[in-house]
Chain A
Amino acid sequence: MPEVKQAHEATETYFAEFARLERETSRQPEWLRLKRKSAMERFADLGFPTTRQEAWRFTNVAPLARITFKQADAKGAAREAFKPALLGDVAARLVFVDGQWNPKLSALASLPKGVLVSSLAAALESGDQGILEGHLACYAEDADHAFTALNTAFIRDGALIRIADGVVLEKPIHVIFIRTGGAQNTVTHPRTLIVTGREAQAMVMESHCGPAGETYFTNAVTEIVVGENASVEHVKLQEEGDQAFYIATVQAQQARASRFHSHSVSLGAALARNDINSVMAGEGAECTLNGLYQVAGTQHVDHHTRLDHAMPHCSSREYYRGILDGKSSGVFNGAIIVRKDAQKTDAIQSNKNLLLSEEAIINTKPELQILADDVRCTHGATIGQLDPDALFYLRARGIGLESARHLLTRAFANDVIARIHFAPARERLEARLLARLSAAWKPEEVL
C-alpha cells in the first residue's frame, strides 16, 4: 500500500522538523519546551484524522497527510515587495511573512497605555512570561485534535495581544499572515494569543492569504481570553491560494458577563477547515459566532463550531451562511453543549446555504447536547437555490438575469457581513465579496 507508506513518510518529516526546531528555538522558555514536547507526542499518538472519525467524516485530509511539508523559511521573503491588503485606520498592524514576524511591514507605534501588541517569538525571548505561561496553549484542546497538537508542537511565532483591565481600544488591531511565492510544499503554524482584562474592549482582524497555484499548508491556532465584562470582536478573513490547505482553530474562553463576537469569512484554499469554539465559563456571558463561506470550483470548506454553555444565563447566537458554486463542497457542524448547571441558557443557531450549481454539496448538522432543563435552544438549517420568484421580480423591473443573480447572492452574503460591528472590516469584506461575485457573473455596470 504505497499511499500509507507515503503518508508515513510525510508524518516522519514532522518529527524530523520538530527535532530541528528544538535546536533552533533553544532560547524558548522551559515551560513551553515541555508543552511543545507533549504536544508532539500527542500528535504522534493521534496521527492525522481520517473520515472514519465523526468530526472529519466529510473532510478528507488524506491528500494533506500524504504531502511532505517542510517548515516555511521566511529568509528570502523579506526581499520581496508585498502589498498585503491593509485596513486603513488601525491601532496596530502585525504582519507575518511565511510564519515570521516582519517588522518592516508592521506598525506598532503609538499604542495606548495598557495595550501590548507583539510578535510571539520576541515576547517568548524577552517578554512577560507570566501572561504567556498562564495562557498560551491553555485553552485550545488538543486531546482529539491532531492539528492543534501539531501547531502547539511548532509554536515559534505569531501574534500576542494583551489589553489591560478597563482599556478600551477604539481602533482595531490587524494581524496578517501572508504566504509568499515559493511556498510550494511548505507549512506554517501561526499562533495567536489575545488576552483581555476586566472591562477591556478590543477588535482584532486576522487575515490569512497566500499565492495561487502553490500547494502549501497553513495550520493556525488562535486563543482568545475574554476577561470579566470585557468585549472582543474577532474577524477572520481566510483568502489562501486556490491550492492551499488551511486548517485553523479559534478557541475563546469567556469570563463572567463577557461578550465575544466571532466572524469567520472563508473564501480561499482548496481545503479549509475551521474549528471555532467558545467556552462560556462565567455567568451571563454572551457569544456570537457568525460565518460566511463562499466557494466554487472544487474547493472544500468545513466549519465545526462548538459552544460550551458551562454556566447559567449565558446566551449564544450563531449565524452561518454559505454560498457554494461549481463542484465545491461544504460542511457545517454546530455543536451546542449545555452543562448541567447552565440553567437559563439561551442558544439560537442558524445555518443557511445557497447552492448555485447542481453539483455543489453541503452537509449541515446541528449537534445538541443538553444536560440542563430550563433552557432555550433553537436551531435551523436551510439549503436552497436562488428564489426564482425574486429573480423574476428583479428582471420584470429591467434588471438583467446575471445582475439579478449577482444582486440576490450578494444580499444573501451581506446579511452576515452586515453583522460585523467594525465598519472598515465590514467594508473591506463587502468589497472582497463583490469582487469575487463579479468574477463569477458579469453584472451590468448600472448595478
Chain B
Amino acid sequence: MLEIKNLHAQVAGKEILKGVDLKVNAGEVHAIMGPNGSGKSTLAQVLAGRDVYEVTEGEVFYQGKDLLAMAPEDRAREGIFLAFQYPMEIPGVSNMYFLKAALNNIRKAQGQPELDAMDFLALVREKMKLLGIDEALMNRAVNEGFSGGEKKRNEIFQMAVLEPKLAILDETDSGLDIDALRVVADGVNALRNPARAIIVVTHYQRLLNYIVPDFVHVLYDGRLVKSGDKNLALELEEKGYGWLEVQPQTV
C-alpha cells in the first residue's frame, strides 16, 4: 500500500529525515517510536503533503502512485488521513460544516454519491456515540477553544467518519488520560480491517497496549534504526532510547 524509499527531507535548511525506508501493506498496523525531535512528525507531515518540509531525495509510492507528486487534498481523497499531533484551530468554520465538506470531497473523488444533510447527520451521530463526542461540539468552530484531549478525540472522530485507507496517527495518545486513551484506541481498533493500514506514531509504549501493532520501528535522528514486533516497544520502554545510540543499525 505504502512504500517509502530512501526518504530525505529538510526544513529551514536543516536535514531532518536522513534516508527512511518503510513498507506498509494493507491490513497492517505499524508503530513508529522515537525520542523527541527524531523526525516522527516530519515523516507524518511529509506523507500528508505539508510543503514546509522539502523532500530532497527518495521516493514514496502509495497504491502504486507517486505520492510526492500529489497535492495534499488529492492524497486525502485517495484515502490518506493524518491525525495531527497539534490539530489546527479554524475559527468561524463549524466542525459539522468542515467535516461534511471533507467527507463529500472524498466521496466525490472516489465516485461515491455525496451525502445529504440527513444522511450525514445519521453517520455523524453514530460515530459520535462511538467516540463519546458531545453533539454540542459539532456546532463549535473546528478545534477552537478545545482542550488538548478534545482536539485529539476530534481527530479520531474525523478519522472514523472519513474511513481512510491509510491512517497516520501522530502522537494521538500524548496528553490523554487513560479513559480518553481507551476511547481513542477503541476508535482506531474499530477501523482495523484487512483493507486498511495504520501507522501509529508515538512517544510512549502505553498506547500499544491498546492498539497492538504488527510491527514496531524506531526512528532515531532521521533514520529507522531498528524494527521488530510489539516486544520491541516493551524493550524500549524498559531501556529508554539511550541504548540505541550504541548500536545503530539500518533497517
> Could you list which residues of chain A lie within 8 angstroms of chain B, going by C-beta atoms?
387, 389-390, 392-401, 403-404, 407-408, 410-412, 414-415, 444, 446-447
CB of B102 closer than 8 Å to a CB of A: yes
Minimum CB distance partner of A443 in chain B: B101
Contact of A411 among B92, B105, B109, B162 (CB under 8 A): B92
CB of A396 within 8 A of CB of B101, answer no
Residues of B within 8 A of A392 (CB): 49-51, 72, 88
| Shortest CB distance B97–A (Å) | 8
CB of A398 within 8 A of CB of B92, answer no
| Shortest CB distance B152–A (Å) | 14
With A393-B87, A407-B101, A447-B101 as contacts: A399 and B73 at CB distance below 8 Å? yes
CA distance A307 to B114 in the complex (A): 50
CB of B90 within 8 A of CB of A395, answer no
Residues of B within 8 A of A395 (CB): 49, 71-73, 76
CB of A399 within 8 A of CB of B105, answer yes
Residues of B within 8 A of A389 (CB): 88
With A393-B84, A408-B93 as contacts: A398 and B50 at CB distance below 8 Å? no
Minimum CB distance partner of A392 in chain B: B50
| Shortest CB distance A20–B (Å) | 51
When A and B form their complex, which 5 residue pairs have the shortest distance between CB atoms, in order from nearest? A411-B92, A398-B76, A397-B102, A446-B104, A395-B72
Minimum CB distance partner of A393 in chain B: B88
CB of B106 closer than 8 Å to a CB of A: yes
Classify the interface of chain A: helix, strand, loop or mixed.
Answer: helix
B66-88: which have CB < 8 Å to A? 71-73, 75-77, 82, 84, 87-88
CB of B73 within 8 A of CB of A401, answer yes
CB of A399 within 8 A of CB of B90, answer no
CA distance A99 to B47 in the complex (A): 61
Residues of A within 8 A of B72 (CB): 392, 395-396
CB of A415 within 8 A of CB of B77, answer no
CB of B101 within 8 A of CB of A399, answer yes
Q: Among B71, B72, B114, which residue has the most Cβ atoms of chain A within 10 A?
A: B72
Residues of B within 8 A of A446 (CB): 101, 104-105, 108, 114
11 additional A-B residue pairs with CB within 8 Å, beyond A393-B87, A408-B92: A389-B88, A390-B88, A392-B50, A392-B72, A393-B142, A396-B50, A398-B103, A401-B73, A407-B101, A414-B92, A446-B104
Minimum CB distance partner of B83 in chain A: A396
CA distance A397 to B114 in the complex (A): 15
CB of B88 within 8 A of CB of A398, answer no
Residues of B within 8 A of A404 (CB): 73
* Subset of 24 A-B contacts with CB under 8 Å: A389-B88, A390-B90, A392-B51, A395-B76, A396-B49, A396-B82, A396-B84, A397-B76, A397-B98, A397-B158, A398-B73, A398-B76, A398-B105, A399-B102, A400-B73, A401-B71, A401-B73, A403-B105, A404-B73, A407-B101, A412-B92, A414-B92, A415-B92, A446-B114
| Shortest CB distance B182–A (Å) | 25
Residues of A within 8 A of B51 (CB): 392
CB of B76 within 8 A of CB of A396, answer yes
Minimum CB distance partner of B110 in chain A: A398
CA distance A444 to B104 in the complex (A): 10
Residues of A within 8 A of B91 (CB): 411, 415
